[in-house]
């Protein structure tokens, strides 16, 4: 039941309203007199905003902390501004942080949070690291989710997989064997600014939220911004386009943070990017129809992974290079990974094939994650047994 509530929260208020925290923020408000305290109490007691005191008012000059739901952010900000109340945001994206904190606290021996940077709007980029080793960087797997903000099933699946890793360690021989010699890094929300925007403003927002000088249009497609055939086919130089590649490769701090971390680490063997929708399992290249040097091996691994995925509920995935089975894509994450020596680079386009599209119902979250996990294990086991 806990997981149903949690993933209902991630997938959004239009589907499940219980225990929804994602997009919520904590405001710290400076109160200077009795009148301001009275105004705050009235605000919190209002039924319209569903606010909650974390640190209630006590004496003048002491800050007050209030949890503000995502749907109340704008009206509460407007109220505070109109009343001359000074505030700062101390906690952003509450749900994801709570879940990541919980895993790190519950499994301190092999789960930790690594901060790799900030988003354009200054949200921290936290990665979950699963490791049983110490010392020099071990061979590693990178799991990326939510690079396109409207693809909510990818973020939900990423967090579900994190819980699966910690729950199956020392129980599932495959997971245990992988973690004996490899580390796993998971970035559950690769585009946090866009994700919050889909929760609060525009459900179908895809890009980052960076500003484009000389244009009224906001954002860059972060999966066209990697330094791999940058600005080639399948990307646009129009800032208003959904596939705008940005002014230059790695212009988006969300992309550059991942690039810098992976390059500094220097021992990643696998890169997997979770997207939706279409039910595809793809490998390089996206920017050319020419075969990648390792195409034969990658195709076999992807085929086995797709078969494992289908074994649970019969969900069928097509397998192949992204340029062939999807469309031409330049500046993509997996092409960058492959071109930079990470041989096992794959993109999942999760459920479904178009009936619901980006609005996949909450009752399909767990089944999507469960079947995807089976295919992910096939890939990770292959990598574990074919280190290079």
H-assigned helices in 140-230: 152-168, 173-181, 192-200
Question: Which residues touch 92 (CB under 8 Å, ≥6 apart)?
Answer: 25, 123, 124, 192, 196
| Local structure of 227: helix, strand or coil | coil
Query: Which is the catalytic residue, given 151, 254, 349, 371?
Result: 349
Burial of 231 (0-12, 13-18, 19+ CB in 10 A): middle
Is residue 335 within 8 Å of residue 287, measured between CB atoms? Answer: yes
The 10 Å CB-count burial string (b at 16+, else e) for 165-185 is bbebbeeeeebeebbeebbbb
H-assigned helices in 170-222: 173-181, 192-200
254 catalytic? Reply is no
| Local structure of 107: helix, strand or coil | coil
Angle (nearest 5°) at CA 320 between 314 and 321: 145
Cis-peptide, bond into residue 277, ω within 30° of zero: yes
Measured CA to CA, the distance from residue 19 to residue 2 in angstroms comes to 10
- Taking the alpha carbons of 140, 193, 340, 286 in that order, is the dihedral positive or negative? positive
| Local structure of 314: helix, strand or coil | coil
- Angle formed by the axes of helices 152-168 and 94-106, nearest 10°: 10
Measured CA to CA, the distance from residue 73 to residue 322 in angstroms comes to 39
Radius of gyration of the chain (CA): 22
Question: Which residues touch 385 (CB under 8 Å, ≥6 apart)?
Answer: none
Q: Which residues are known catalytic residues?
A: 349
């Amino acid at each position: 039941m806990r997981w149903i509530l949690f993933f209902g929260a991630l997938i959004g208020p239009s589907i499940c309203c219980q225990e929804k925290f994602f997009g919520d923020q904590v405001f710290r408000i400076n109160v200077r007199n009795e009148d301001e305290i009275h105004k705050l109490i009235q605000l919190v007691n209002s039924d319209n905003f569903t606010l909650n005191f974390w640190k209630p008012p006590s004496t003048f000059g002491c800050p007050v902390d209030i949890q503000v739901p995502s749907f109340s952010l704008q009206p509460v900000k407007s109220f505070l501004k109109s009343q001359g109340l000074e505030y700062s945001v101390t906690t952003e994206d509450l749900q994801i942080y709570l879940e990541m904190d919980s895993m790190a606290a519950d499994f301190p021996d092999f789960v930790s949070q690594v901060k790799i940077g900030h988003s354009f709007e200054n949200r921290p980029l936290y990665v979950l690291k699963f490791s049983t080793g110490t010392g020099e960087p071990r061979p590693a797997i990178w799991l990326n989710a939510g690079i396109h903000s409207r693809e909510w099933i990818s973020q939900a699946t990423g967090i579900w997989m994190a819980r699966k890793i910690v729950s199956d360690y020392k129980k599932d021989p495959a997971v245990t064997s992988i973690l004996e010699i490899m580390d796993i890094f998971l970035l559950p929300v690769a585009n946090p600014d866009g994700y919050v925007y889909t929760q609060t403003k525009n459900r179908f927002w895809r890009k980052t939220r960076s500003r484009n000088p000389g244009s009224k249009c906001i954002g860059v497609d972060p999966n066209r911004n990697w330094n791999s055939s940058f600005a080639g086919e399948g990307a646009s130089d129009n800032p208003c386009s959904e596939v705008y590649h940005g002014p230059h490769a790695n212009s988006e701090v969300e992309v550059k943070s991942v690039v810098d971390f992976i390059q500094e680490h220097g021992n990643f063997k696998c890169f997997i990017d979770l997207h939706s929708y279409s039910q595809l399992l793809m490998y390089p290249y996206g920017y050319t129809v020419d075969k990648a040097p390792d195409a034969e091996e990658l195709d076999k691994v992807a085929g086995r992974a797709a078969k494992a995925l289908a074994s649970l509920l019969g969900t069928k995935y097509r397998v192949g290079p992204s340029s062939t089975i999807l469309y031409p894509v330049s500046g993509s994450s997996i092409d960058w990974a492959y071109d930079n020596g990470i041989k096992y680079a794959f993109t999942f386009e999760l459920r479904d094939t178009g009936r619901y599209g980006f609005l996949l119902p909450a009752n399909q979250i767990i089944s999507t994650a469960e079947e995807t996990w089976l295919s992910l294990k096939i890939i990770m086991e292959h990598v574990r047994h074919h280190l290079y």
